[in-house]
Structure formats: C-alpha cells, structure tokens
Structure 1
C-alpha cells in the first residue's frame, strides 16, 4: 500500500497514527512483498502477525497461501481488518494487546511470526515470544534498528544483554537489511532493520530456559559490576560453578558467551 492509498483510507476509518502505540505504517509495496517472502517458508506454514495495521503485509501473506492469525490492538483497525478479510477463511483476527493476550492459545503449532512490530512494544513482545520457542519455528521482524542490533549482539558488545542471550540460546539470529524511515508513514525518527530468527535444532528445555531467565535478571542488573557477587543470591554455589565451568571470577555479565550462560543455567538446575 502506497502513501497515496494509505492516507485516504486512514481518514475514512478515522485513524490518526498514534505515537504512543508506535503506529508507523509501511508504504513501500516492494518491501512489503519482500518481507512476506524472505523467510522462504512453505505455504502450509501458519503465520502469526502482530500489529497488522491496514493489512498490507497480511494480504501478501494470504496471497502466498499462509493461514494468518493477526493480533491488532487498535479497535478501529481491527474493525477494518474484519471487513477486509471477512470472506477469507485463512484469516483469523485477535483483538487485543500483544503484551496481554493469551499467546498459548493464539500461537499455532510450528508457525512463523512475521511482523512490522510496533516500536513501543517490540521488546516486551519479543520477550513473550521467547517463552514459546517450542511452537515458533522462526520469527522475522521489522523493528527499530537499535533493537535489531541488540538481538544480534555478540558477547562483549555494549548492546549484548538479557534479550540477546535469551534470543540467541534458542534461535540463530541474522540482521537481513537496514530500512530507511522513508518507507513508513509517518516516518519514525530512527532507522529500522529487518531481523530474522530461525529456531535451532537443539533448543534448551523449558526448565533450562526458566533457569537461564532467573540468572539473567540479577546478572545484568548492574552491568559495571562483577557477575559473581550478583549471582550469589540466585546461585548459592556460584563460586564452585565459576571454577568448574572455567569462568573467570572477574567476569561481568556481558563477558559470558551464550554457551557459558547455558552451562550456568544447567548448573543451577542440578544443584
């Protein structure tokens, strides 16, 4: 959908793009088609879309043969989407906040999540999706470039943090391309990027992931401090664990590799 098509449509349904909701509508049809096709997934793979807006990406996904479950928070856009796709049995709409809807019921088994994520909820939304790695084969997001770089960041990088570790322990992460503000209306004040997450063959167990999450919270709570003292309350034998796993005592959270964090999570389970 182009800008000349989008603006009259939004006016007709009385929608003014909300900065609070992070509403920046994609107005480049070529990029929209590219996003829908980039994962190179089978047409029988179901897709979860978050923040479908006026349905530009939704249309491309349905045209490619996917069953689409879309989650839209804005009531007026939800009403428009129901009317636009009411005769398409492959489309299902859930009206609600991505940070509050029942994702256990919403996410189809063995699906991909493909979305132009609203900037205002990208972090919390991705954190929620990571709780369902057993269902999500992969995710592809158009989001703020800073967030995309955080997901991809290696250990030792200033952007490497809790979300980096939680993402990379379960998914292979790749920044596919950078995106200019000019492809949105209204244009955001920051650059964007498309990042792709493909689920690894050997994903840690749900128990291991819960253990990891419990360690990451205190571990990254004070980035400039040594990790060992920060973990003592959560991991009483942290000293023994660091020694056995050959982790230097003066390490900070950002120094540990994904493999080392995984080993600590396993250690915590078996103490």
Structure 2
C-alpha cells in the first residue's frame, strides 16, 4: 500500500476519527502531491555523499551520471567508508516525506549490514503521532512487503519505536516541540556524536511562523547539512549574496545555502498563500566565532537602514564591546562605519568578528 494520505478525504477522515482537524493556526500544511514529495526527498539524499543513491535508487546531485569503475568499487566497500546515515525529520506530520525517506534508507541499509541507519521524527501533535504509528508506518511496511511490525508503544518512554525493518535500520518518533528538543540536543553533543555525525541530515517541512527558530536551532547540531521546505522568498533572502541580511550572514557562517526545487501552492492542503522552496544547507568550515557574530549582527541590524555607527551607538553590546571598539574594528577591516548593515557583505562581518577575537 502506498502512502495513504495523498487523498484529501482519507486525510480528513483520519483526523476526524481522532476528533481532530487541520490546524492552520499551527502552520499545518500537509503535502499532497507525490511528485513534490519526491523532489524534497531527493534533495535530502543529495546532501549525502554523491556515491550514495537517491530515494528511487538513482544517482543524483551535481555529479550524477554513469557510475565509474572506481566509484563502483567505492560503493562496494561503502560499509567501511561511513558508520551509517541518520535522518532527523522535523514535523513529519502524517508522514508524506517520511514514507519516501524510509524507503530510501531501506534501500541503502539492505546492502550495508555493517553500517547503521536511522530515521528520527520529531512531532509535537499527539494526533499526528498516532496517525504515523497506527496508519502510515503499517502502510509503508505493507508496501515494502516487510514482516516488521510496529514496535511497542510506551507513552512513558521516548522515543516511540515505530519499527526495525532491518537489523541495521531503526525508525523512531519523538513526541516533542522540535525547538526545545534541538536546543537540548545542542547541549548534549559529545565527541562521539561529532565523530559519527558526518552523514546526519536534518530535514523537514517547517511551519512558516517558526522557520527561523528551527533553522537557527539546527545550525550547530553536528551534521552534514539540512534540507528544509520553507517560503520561497525566505530561502531567496538567505541565498542572495547581493543584499545583506542578519539571518543570511549568520547562516552562511555555518552552512553554504542553495535554493533547491520549488514547490507550488497546490502541493499542499490547505494551500499556503505563497510559493515554497527547498532550502539546502551544506555544512562548511565555520568562518568566525558564532556567539560573537550573533551579537555583532543584532547590534548592526537593529535599526532599519541606519548606519553601522548609529546602530552601534544605540545597541546593548554587552561586556567587552563598545561602539568605539566596533568602529575601530570596521576601520581596521577597511569598512566604513557610515555604511548601512544591509550594504555589508557577510564576509565583512566575519572579518570584524575575527579582528575582535584576535585582539
């Protein structure tokens, strides 16, 4: 059986049976178009090593094409090249994207018994958690002709184990506010997690009204990158290198952003007011001190279209910083403090932060 909720009536029936309805006020826009879902899933897998196949078994990304003899040999020893793959999906809802991600992970895990594969969903809505456990996972298991059955549900323990389709593949669900959960995950990162997180991807269809909170919370989690479905205009602002913005400068300190596939309004129920886009973020070497950068960006962008000098004079800068020191840093970096923050490149803010860090 395919993903069961591409049908509007089926989705509404599943919600009604649990005395629930679509909560638009909570940013619930359910993906209803299988082609759009496939594009999003392939964007997620594109962030992984180019030798790893996409969710439909084809090579994807910039290096797509015939597999060379050398690449085939590398693929054959894949279990020795990486410890495994971990996908964290924020707000899986009823599991439209999850359904395709599970299949992609299954196809990669099956020939790699020595590597570990994991999907972890983070969903706050208890009704949607019930639907994932009671309907979506069983439908996927049936479609994949698996003997695996949903794991025991114990509300007193987290995560809920959906199932273990293969000995090296686990599917789990956490009922939690993703913002708080990600913040807790930041503080719990260990050296071991840092070493094994090279093939972790954080993804999801983000509620528009908390996109920034979820994006910022994801940046410092050890991962290979993120793939988020967000408003097209929002993704464009982060990827635009011709106009400065605080969110773009902050994101680019941690990740290289690229606009992925565009997703039309009619791919959702209910249709949102604006077009959507997959925002692809690939982990990069950090350019400067993130905590100090955040302070500088907040101070610089606090007044719309104000000069840096005026913004810094009116800002609460914190211990060790002053308007005079920031102006000195700007001068040393060849920048004019009479310029507006919107006209300053992200790289110039990084230079200011690095100058301050070195003094």
Q: In the TM superposition, what is the alpha-carbon distance from 1:106 to its structure 2 partner? A: 9.0
Match of 2:208 in 1: 119
Match of 1:11 in 2: 16
Q: d(CA) in 2 for partners of 1:136 and 1:20? A: 31
Q: d(CA) in 2 for partners of 1:189 and 1:266? A: 41
Q: d(CA) in 1 for partners of 2:292 and 2:93? A: 36
Q: d(CA) in 2 for partners of 1:119 and 1:267? A: 36
Q: d(CA) in 2 for partners of 1:142 and 1:81? A: 20
Stretches of structure 2 lacking an aligned partner (at least 5 in a row): 54-83, 106-116, 138-149, 152-162, 165-169
Q: For residues 233-257 of structure 1, what are the alpha-carbon distances to aligned partners after superposition, in whole Å with 9 as ceiling and x for unaligned?
A: 6333122211110002311111111
TM-score, normalised with respect to structure 1:
0.89
Match of 2:226 in 1: 139
Q: For residues 178-236 of structure 1, what are the alpha-carbon distances to aligned partners after superposition, in whole Å with 9 as ceiling and x for unaligned?
A: 22110000111221111111112x2236xx01110111111111021111232356333
Q: In the TM superposition, what is the alpha-carbon distance from 1:49 to its structure 2 partner? A: 0.4
Q: For residues 142-185 of structure 1, what are the alpha-carbon distances to aligned partners after superposition, in whole Å with 9 as ceiling and x for unaligned?
A: 11122212221224x2xx42211111122111111322110000
Match of 1:51 in 2: 91
Q: d(CA) in 2 for partners of 1:98 and 1:254? A: 31
Match of 1:97 in 2: 177
SS in 2 for 1:46: strand
Which of the numbers 274, 278, 297 marks the counterpart of 1:194? Answer: 278
Q: In the TM superposition, what is the alpha-carbon distance from 1:11 to its structure 2 partner? A: 2.6
Q: d(CA) in 1 for partners of 2:327 and 2:334? A: 11
Q: d(CA) in 2 for partners of 1:117 and 1:238? A: 36
The answer to whether the Cα contact below 8 Å between 1:181 and 1:188 also exists between their aligned partners in 2 is yes
How many residues of Structure 1 are paired with residues of Structure 2 in the alignment? 263
Alignment of 1:14-29 (within 5 A): 14-29=19-34
Match of 2:102 in 1: 62
Which of the numbers 241, 266, 272 marks the counterpart of 1:154? Answer: 241
SS in 1 for 2:258: strand
Q: d(CA) in 1 for partners of 2:209 and 2:332? A: 42
Q: d(CA) in 2 for partners of 1:215 and 1:249? A: 13
SS in 1 for 2:337: coil
The answer to whether the Cα contact below 8 Å between 1:162 and 1:220 also exists between their aligned partners in 2 is yes
Q: In the TM superposition, what is the alpha-carbon distance from 1:33 to its structure 2 partner? A: 1.9
The answer to whether the Cα contact below 8 Å between 1:179 and 1:192 also exists between their aligned partners in 2 is yes
Q: In the TM superposition, what is the alpha-carbon distance from 1:25 to its structure 2 partner? A: 0.2
Stretches of structure 1 lacking an aligned partner (at least 5 in a row): none
Q: Are 2:318 and 1:238 equivalent residues in the alignment?
A: no
Q: Give 1 or 2 for the bigger CA radius of gyration.
A: 2
Match of 2:286 in 1: 203
Q: d(CA) in 2 for partners of 1:59 and 1:125? A: 22
Compute the RMSD of aligned alpha carbons.
2.2
